[in-house]
Amino acid sequence: MLNHLNDRSQHYLTDDIFVLFGCDFTYMNAHHNFNFMDNMINYMNKHHSDKYIFKYSTPSEYVNALQKYDVKWPTKYDDLMPYGSAPD
């Protein structure tokens, strides 16, 4: 996880990093998955809070947190790659 975050942080303009967990059909057992994420958050905050602070958030909380930075955000004008997870 630390290697992933260290790499990911190089691609952000701020100190706040948004990490998504799961996808549409991978995490069907909510109790199991939230238990896993709770344990990971507790462990990482206990052992690595000098560099990262882990917490549950929402997209709107993340966007609101970005407002504290004085950053000129880039605008993307070309096409995005469409999402697809199945051959059809």
pLDDT at 88: 66
Among 13, 21, 19, 18, which Cα is nearest to 71's? 13
In the chain, what is the straight-line distance between the N-terminal and C-terminal CA atoms, in Å?
33
Pairwise CA distance, residues 32 & 64, whole Å: 29
DSSP 39-52: HHHHHHHHHHTTT-
Structural domain that includes position 25: 18-66
Residue 53 has pLDDT above 80, yes or no: yes
pLDDT at 57: 93
pTM over 0.75: no
DSSP annotation of 81: P
Tell me how many domains the chain contains: 1
pLDDT band at 30 (very low <50, low <70, confident <90, very high): confident
Does a structural domain hold residue 3? no
Does a structural domain hold residue 83? no
Does a structural domain hold residue 26? yes
Residue 78 has pLDDT above 90, yes or no: no
- Averaged pLDDT for residues 32-41: 92
Residue 62 has pLDDT above 90, yes or no: yes
Pairwise CA distance, residues 61 & 63, whole Å: 6
